[in-house]
Structure 1
Amino acid sequence: MNGRKLRQLSLGLTVFAMHGAGLAAPDQAGNAAQEQAAAPDWADGGDIVVTAQKRAENIQDVAISIAAFSGQGLADRNVTDVTGLAKLVPNFTVTRGPQLASARLNIRGIGASGNTAVEPSVATFLDGIYVARPGALFGSMLDVEGVEVLRGPQGTLFGRNASVGAVALRSIEPENDFSGELRAEIGTGARYRLDGFVNLPVNDTLAFRAAAIGEKFDGLWFSDQHDRRFGGADTIAGRLSMKATPGAVTWLVRADYSRLKGSGFPLVGFLSDSVTPAGLATFKARLGGVLPDLDPFDRRSNQYLDDFVDDRQWGISSDLSLDFGDGFTARMLNGYRDWESRQEDGDLLFVPIPILRRDGVYDSKSQSHELQIISPKGRLMGGRLDFVAGLYYFHERYKIVERFAFLPSFCPTIVGLLAPNLVNACLAGPSTGATDLRFGQSVDSYAAYGQATYAFTDTLDLTLGARWTRDDKTGSFVQTSPNPVGIVLRAPETANLAFSGDRLTWRAQVGWKPADGKMLFASYSTGYKSGGFNSGGGSTVLGARRVFQPEFVKNYEIGAKTRWLDGGLIFNATLFRMDIAGFQDRSFDGVSFVVSNAGGLRQQGAELNAILSPDRNFQVDWSLAYLDSKFLEFKGASGLPAFGGTQDLTGAPATFSPKYSGSFGATYKNEIGNTGMRFMARANISFVSDMNIGQVTDNNPQTIQDGYALIGARLTLYGRDDRWNISLFGDNLTDKGYCVQTYYQVLDNAFGVRNPATGGTAVRCQVAAPRTLGASLGVRF
């Protein structure tokens, strides 16, 4: 079925449903979720409801390795954006590069940078709608009801690019009671935030909800050279939702908008121990007698800044469900998202003198249409069979523009070192737009899927699912160099690109419940990540290497989900082995990145979590992950920077793959005498062992970040009937300095910092957030 016909079917179902009549239908992910979620005292206990299998289910009944949190649970843990999830979910990391668009989500050590045309390995969804570019997710954590992190391939129900997992956010639905909240917050870095919502019921079948955020944030870092803070941005965001339940129809419509504008550039420090004293002296001399700050963790920088970011997006979605009898539900999900991020990086070399600036534009316009048929639970074949089936269409037009601007020191410093005879030509050519890259691609993806569960007995069931996906891509790449010296950085190239492919992914799973509250399961699943195009410029012409092939995943899991002590203890465990073929790896030549299909990679280990609730006032939760990573074959890996060429990394681990990661938290809440007031206190610690956080897979010991632990806490006082609340909170309370990712010094060869003895070079550290403190005041009405 082509995209046009599927859109026609979508419109037809919408019109039919709006005029339909019949008995009231249960909301598959709404009323059922509310009934189950209302029972427990703890929002994030074992009774939390997830929609990982396209229907509302208790998390303990879903045979997938899931970490799920309610909106209130996230607030209690000081999580206000997607990056904060990493401190709660082992085997999950989120990093942002110097560009906001370069967001990278990793599950079980696997991910992809977002500021390229490479498809993500972790699929992201907002209210069931696929978010094509992870950079767009940073503006979406507004008025959230819950978040689910699904580890392992989700190719059957979530499709392509969920090859190692998925992240699903759900916003709060309009309710039939009038309510509202307004909250003001102040925090480290001159951060001021105001947010709130209002819920407006019109009648028993129609309600609206509006939520908004406004934040002013100067940043956590201070520039000595420019005498200002940097790294922050001002944000405005809003969402308007409508829920209508006329007869047998449930219709949710949501529209959202967000804009982030300001500095946005993080602190990228210099690791002085990555170069020899002689190399450091050469670096200083070639910078005209100055050096970058040698302490990356003092919150200060003498780096030249010419930075600016303007990131905006808007989207609209329709979630229409129709009960057409006997509990069967037809659901149509339609979504459109328009995201554009413009950023000026300054200086791209992270040095104290103005050398090179990158101006980037990332523009994604996507739409998706999904028709689902969901069977009732306990109605088919004597209550033994239920299923989900669907058709899916996705279209995206994605554009990338990159321009290098030669700042005043580029021609005399860089060109003067590499090619002195070209200095005059460099100075005579244009400085702004010295190089110009324009990349565009169009993607059409089609899928049909189904998954069914058959219960052989009351305690033993089998789940089988499959999904067929086809991707058609076309693209164009044009690189020019208006300044004649620009060819040193970006070789002129013009290419018309095409990729097509289809794949069948499937899942088989056996579940056994030997006793009440105990479930054991074993599963085999496959994942598929689409092939695509190298969208970045290079110092040499890539030619045929601009197209790379898909990535395929085979995943084996055995696990247990259990309750003990009358539900007071929940303990879950999953053992997994994930084999990746055609791993899409990035290499770096000192100027540009190139993606190619590497050899086989194996990620295997265990994920454990437990929740202990000895009484209604106290809860302890912990989670732990072990990850063993190694390439089964990788003979063409990037060589170390000073050696160049390739090397054999068979048996070596992948980047972003720590052996151990985990978190531990404790929450205590109680009433305050007979005042009608109460309080909540929470403390948590998250930890990660040593891991390589380099942007290139070359097994360089210079890019290994030592293990660290982070401590956070929150104390909240609630007024009578929770009409108001006051909170004090903090993160990274020990002010631990560490890197979230590392980069090789751009143009390191020109600066003379490569070490021919070890193969190493100067390394840059993107510094993580230091200790942050804050306070908030909220009022409900």
Structure 2
Amino acid sequence: MASSARVRARLAVTASIFALAAGAGQAFAQEVTQVEDIIVTAQKRSESIQDVPIAVSALSSESLNELKIEGGSELMRAVPNVSFSKANFSMYNFSIRGVGTKAISASSDPAVAVSFNSTPLIRNRLFEQEYLDVQRVEVLRGPQGTLYGRNATGGVVNMIPNLPGRDFEGFVKGEVGNYDSRRMQAVINVPVGETFALRLAGSATQRDGFDYNTFNETKVNNRDLWSTRLSAAWEPTSRFRTNFIWEHFEEDDQRSRTGKQLCTNDPGPTKIGNVNITSQLVRNRLSQGCLPGSLYDDAAYGVPNGGAFAHVFLASLSYGRNAAGQTVNAVPLGTDPYAGLTQSRDLREIATSYDPIFRVKNDVFQFNMEFDLNDNLKLISQTAYAKDDYYSSQDYNRFVSNPIFSNSDGLFNALNQPIINPNTPTPGGYYTDPQLGRSNRMVSADLSRSDNRQWTQELRLQSSYEGRFNFSLGGNYIDFKSNDDYFVFNNLFTFLAEYYYNDLTVPGVTNMGRRTQLCTPQTTKECIYVDPTPLDQLAGDGHNYFRSKNVIHTRSWGVFGEAYYDLSPTWRVTAGLRYTDDRKVSTPYPSQLLLGADRGNPGPSSGGYVSRGYPALPDIDQQWDALTGRLVVDWKPTVSFTDETMVYASFSRGYKGGGANPPRVDINPAVIQYQPLAETFAPEYVNAFEIGAKNTLAGGKLRLNATGFYYDYTDYQVSQIVDRISLNENFDSRTWGLEFEAVFKPTREFRVDANLGYLNTKIGKGEKSIDVMDRTQGNAEWTVLRPWLQVPSNCIAPTRYVERILAAGKPQEQTMLGLQALCGGSLRTGSFNPQFPSQLPLYLPQFFGFTYNPLTEAPNGGRGFEADLSGNELPNAPNWTANIGAQYTFHKDDWALTLRGDYYYQGSSYARVYNTTYDRLKSWDNFNISATLERPADGLVIQAYVKNLFDKTPITDSFTNSDDTGLTANVFTLDPRLVAVSVSKRF
């Protein structure tokens, strides 16, 4: 039934578009009317959209209001082959023709260049703030390797604001809606004399939260944001024009970066080979937390097996005895903090102990100058500075654990001495974490923050000769600095740091040149500094939490030129070329979260070098240069069935810079060894072929544009979390697709808009990658294991060896260490690197009678089997996107009432390159309606609208978290049904 409905929806929209073309030749008795022309700057010069040989969609301020597109995230409803979703950290993924930003390293760049008034902004809030006093928004589809150049392999989104004019005018708007929504906008334009003008615009939005936190009984995911823009224009002579723009955006609310967290619980195996597993502790250590089940099954609303977490397992070590002489563990052995818990099936209902915090400040300053050297040559300068500060914190897990801490009151230490407050760690069964506060549960939160600065300068020389030849020459420079931090806090991390490390004296720790601050000046310890500062005043130098610190400095310059030559009155050739030189300097700051202390170990067990702070490793200096551009031939034939037609064919080449993967923890290889991972990832390149036709028919009543394209992609960047970092990989692919856009206005009162996109993507033959959700790839001869506690990623080992260890009947501790030894890489269980031989007897030969080296005997050193990606679809590349909207205006005296409805459909896609059941994102649709009553003579407009009429909650994307937190999936969805009424007045 659902599949049939999806097919009917696609056919209905397709039929609607072609029905428009079929009806174009009919004679209309109504008064003459035409589809409004739109002037765009897709080629950085003002031209009719129908004359530009580029696949470009443009939305005027009136169109944005009619479609109720109030921010960048909603542009997908108006542009074919576009998808959008929030991302897990501080950015988003706006994808055009399957090309988006799936690389989430701090050093990666968006593949769709986002521009403010034609200035590219590497970090921006144009997809979070609401549109304010916009002249139009242009979306250029396909690589823009000449004029926009750097990184625009997917396309360009260019938001163009209104600038000061010569007339005094103003605008005021107020809106109220459900979720106690209140919005205000105001604009005033003031001419000052004959040559100068000012324009001031401002807006503010407040509303209650879309989501409900059942644990705290609070509404979260609300909005409290405001924007202002001040612009000034000066035209002292007819040949010289200049303007200045300052835009400020600020938000301080409880916006959630992610939605609900889903998990198909993995209880761990009950049998390995012929050995039955009765110990829950062993089952937990053989569990990966969550299984790769469909996100749409009931089972996905489970919770991870928290007993599989390394920090839970380590916290179960004993720290005292009660009066009866019984051992008391901080967390009872074998505890699963989430045992017995389930989640609501409502994607807008969560249960967390920590409500989100979201703060953003963004400023853009732009200074533009135009000087007419003569009647045919114009020199243009654009200078811009952008500053972006971002802070977002939320519960790391979207569910609340059971109480887990034992009561430490009245306990005795190993010398039979009472443990007295304040040294008792969990009085009354509660632990107090300096960042997360007091709780008897396992509490976890994250923090994503960034500080970004960008300078941009562009100079262009443009001609406007009346002859056959014209040109545009230019150069630009970008200097971008970014400091990105991502933290994960957990009260068990702090507990372990305070009560298992700092009383463990380890003689002879070798620092190997690293800067180390001891916890006390009297002793040499393997100790972890616990940051005492609260979360909102975080010092950031502690090791009781995970921190990924990323400092990036990008400098890029380019020179470009584009020539336009009319071969005849109907044929034109466009040729463009660009040279880009990119340099990125990444300063790696390794993480310093150190788990794995063991009181029975006579040497350092965490492998950490640094007691406090985050010393940097040497800079990673990368540099690339690229030659890109385009060649276009367009033809304007005279045909009997259209008023005007342009047919074009183009070849273009695009480029996007590479970057550095974030560093892992700085570990002493004599203690712990990690499997090697790539330090950097390669740049992307795409060769794109496109043909298109832009047609005006029926006396201007119909516009019908069609495009076909083919992409040959090299090294598309995609990332996943490996060893707690964002590991970026490169894959070749090819893509082809079709796009149709139509506007039909048979009368002054009636208009229909429609677009349709089809996309076919395939990853290249022979491309492979390890799927962290399925490391064995279904091979029963291999088993997934939890490695040594300080190593965050799971491994695989031969099932026969796992069975042999389980069948040996050894004490539980030896059994657990034996299983961990199959992953190798620790002093406690035996090093797999001969350069750093173990100082202890190897567990496997000593206790289990065999030897095993994962580096030589396991696929990819034990990381797992590679999945064959050949022929898989690119992530977030739905095969079908479609929208059809219609409006009708009733006129009565001086009043006009316009009724409009819009239907949007997005086909199914995948969240990851592996294209498994777990990755599949189902198709979804959306319906919006509005009614607008206006009196143009008075500038009065009253509007009511409903967005997401049927209150649907689709999953638009998902993000898989790390192995050591159970491989949970953060999912993203749409806003719920929104109902509002607004009143506006122009003067």
TM tier, smaller: 0.7 to 0.9
The separation in 2 between residues aligned to 1:236 and 1:482, in whole angstroms, is: 38
Structure 1 residue 185: deviation in Å?
Answer: 1.2
TM-score normalised to the size of structure 1? Answer: 0.85
The separation in 2 between residues aligned to 1:718 and 1:232, in whole angstroms, is: 31
> Partner of 2:218 in structure 1?
228
Q: Does 1:250 align with 2:241?
A: yes
> Partner of 1:461 in structure 2?
572
Seen in structure 2, the aligned counterparts of structure 1 residues 538 and 190 have a Cα distance that, compared at 3 Å, is farther
Structure 1 residue 627: deviation in Å?
Answer: 0.4
Structure 1 residue 258: deviation in Å?
Answer: 1.0
Equivalent AA in structure 2 for residue 588 of structure 1: I
> Partner of 2:354 in structure 1?
305
The separation in 2 between residues aligned to 1:145 and 1:278, in whole angstroms, is: 44
Note the aligned Cα RMSD (angstroms): 2.9
2:773 aligned to 617, 633, 641, which one? Answer: 641
The separation in 2 between residues aligned to 1:258 and 1:276, in whole angstroms, is: 40
Match of 1:139, SS state, is coil
Partner deviation per Cα, 1:718-774 (whole Å, 9 max, x = no partner):
135142211111111111221111123554x665xxxxxxxxx75442232221211
> Partner of 1:367 in structure 2?
455
> Partner of 2:398 in structure 1?
350
**Structure 1: gaps of 5 or more residues:** 1-39, 417-424, 752-760
Q: Does 1:655 align with 2:879?
A: no
Seen in structure 2, the aligned counterparts of structure 1 residues 278 and 605 have a Cα distance that, compared at 3 Å, is closer
The separation in 2 between residues aligned to 1:362 and 1:204, in whole angstroms, is: 44
Partner deviation per Cα, 1:105-152 (whole Å, 9 max, x = no partner):
111111115672211100011011111124465337321110011010
Q: Does 1:264 align with 2:470?
A: no
Partner deviation per Cα, 1:409-446 (whole Å, 9 max, x = no partner):
9869xx99xxxxxxxx9999558742333221211111
> Partner of 2:73 in structure 1?
83
Q: Does 1:686 align with 2:813?
A: no
Q: Does 1:738 align with 2:870?
A: no
Of stretches 566-575 and 352-361 in structure 1, the one that deviates more from structure 2 is: 352-361
> Partner of 2:979 in structure 1?
773
1:499 aligned to 609, 622, 634, which one? Answer: 622
Q: Which has the higher contact order (CA 8 A, sep 6+)?
A: 2
Q: Does 1:138 align with 2:128?
A: yes
Seen in structure 2, the aligned counterparts of structure 1 residues 195 and 547 have a Cα distance that, compared at 3 Å, is same
> Partner of 1:587 in structure 2?
720
2:383 aligned to 329, 334, 350, which one? Answer: 334
Q: Does 1:452 align with 2:548?
A: no
2:488 aligned to 401, 404, 417, which one? Answer: 404
Is contact 2:259–2:970 with CA below 8 Å preserved after alignment?
Answer: no
> Partner of 2:418 in structure 1?
none
Match of 1:702, SS state, is helix
Q: Which has the larger radius of gyration?
A: 2
Is contact 2:261–2:968 with CA below 8 Å preserved after alignment?
Answer: no
Is contact 1:330–1:371 with CA below 8 Å preserved after alignment?
Answer: yes
> Partner of 1:724 in structure 2?
940
Is contact 2:591–2:665 with CA below 8 Å preserved after alignment?
Answer: no
The separation in 1 between residues aligned to 2:527 and 2:210, in whole angstroms, is: 37
Structure 1 residue 320: deviation in Å?
Answer: 0.6
Partner deviation per Cα, 1:559-586 (whole Å, 9 max, x = no partner):
1001111111111111000111011121
Structure 1 residue 203: deviation in Å?
Answer: 2.2
Seen in structure 2, the aligned counterparts of structure 1 residues 544 and 496 have a Cα distance that, compared at 3 Å, is farther
Of stretches 220-229 and 426-435 in structure 1, the one that deviates more from structure 2 is: 426-435
> Partner of 2:41 in structure 1?
51
The separation in 1 between residues aligned to 2:301 and 2:112, in whole angstroms, is: 39
Seen in structure 2, the aligned counterparts of structure 1 residues 268 and 276 have a Cα distance that, compared at 3 Å, is closer
Q: Does 1:597 align with 2:756?
A: no
Seen in structure 2, the aligned counterparts of structure 1 residues 474 and 745 have a Cα distance that, compared at 3 Å, is closer
The separation in 2 between residues aligned to 1:54 and 1:488, in whole angstroms, is: 57
Structure 1 residue 633: deviation in Å?
Answer: 2.9
Structure 1 residue 408: deviation in Å?
Answer: 5.9
1:325 aligned to 374, 384, 394, which one? Answer: 374
Q: Does 1:613 align with 2:745?
A: yes
Is contact 1:429–1:483 with CA below 8 Å preserved after alignment?
Answer: no
Q: Does 1:533 align with 2:653?
A: no
The separation in 1 between residues aligned to 2:528 and 2:577, in whole angstroms, is: 60
Equivalent AA in structure 1 for residue 769 of structure 2: A
Structure 1 residue 184: deviation in Å?
Answer: 1.0
1:461-610 equivalent positions in 2, closer than 5 A = 461-481=572-592, 484=595, 494-515=617-638, 517-535=644-662, 537=664, 545-589=678-722, 591-598=724-731, 600-610=732-742
Equivalent AA in structure 1 for residue 905 of structure 2: F
The separation in 2 between residues aligned to 1:249 and 1:295, in whole angstroms, is: 62
Of stretches 538-547 and 75-84 in structure 1, the one that deviates more from structure 2 is: 538-547
Q: Does 1:110 align with 2:99?
A: yes
Match of 1:90, SS state, is coil
1:709 aligned to 910, 925, 931, which one? Answer: 925
Equivalent AA in structure 2 for residue 351 of structure 1: F
Seen in structure 2, the aligned counterparts of structure 1 residues 542 and 80 have a Cα distance that, compared at 3 Å, is farther
Of stretches 261-270 and 710-719 in structure 1, the one that deviates more from structure 2 is: 261-270
Match of 1:116, SS state, is coil
Is contact 1:587–1:638 with CA below 8 Å preserved after alignment?
Answer: no
The separation in 1 between residues aligned to 2:117 and 2:149, in whole angstroms, is: 16
Seen in structure 2, the aligned counterparts of structure 1 residues 671 and 468 have a Cα distance that, compared at 3 Å, is same
> Partner of 1:209 in structure 2?
199
State the percentage of identical aligned residues: 24
Of stretches 149-158 and 639-648 in structure 1, the one that deviates more from structure 2 is: 639-648
Partner deviation per Cα, 1:150-188 (whole Å, 9 max, x = no partner):
010101110111012111010001111111111111233
Seen in structure 2, the aligned counterparts of structure 1 residues 134 and 117 have a Cα distance that, compared at 3 Å, is farther
1:269-284 equivalent positions in 2, closer than 5 A = 269-270=261-262, 274=294, 280=302, 283=305
> Partner of 1:29 in structure 2?
none
The separation in 1 between residues aligned to 2:370 and 2:608, in whole angstroms, is: 51
Is contact 1:188–1:220 with CA below 8 Å preserved after alignment?
Answer: no
> Partner of 1:291 in structure 2?
341
The separation in 2 between residues aligned to 1:208 and 1:766, in whole angstroms, is: 41
Higher strand share: 1
Equivalent AA in structure 2 for residue 478 of structure 1: Y
Partner deviation per Cα, 1:691-744 (whole Å, 9 max, x = no partner):
11x2x4222222212112110011111135142211111111111221111123
Number of aligned residue pairs: 709
The separation in 1 between residues aligned to 2:679 and 2:962, in whole angstroms, is: 22
Is contact 1:426–1:485 with CA below 8 Å preserved after alignment?
Answer: no
The separation in 2 between residues aligned to 1:770 and 1:697, in whole angstroms, is: 29
> Partner of 2:511 in structure 1?
none
1:65-76 equivalent positions in 2, closer than 5 A = 65-76=55-66
The separation in 1 between residues aligned to 2:595 and 2:770, in whole angstroms, is: 29
Of stretches 463-472 and 224-233 in structure 1, the one that deviates more from structure 2 is: 224-233
Seen in structure 2, the aligned counterparts of structure 1 residues 189 and 367 have a Cα distance that, compared at 3 Å, is same
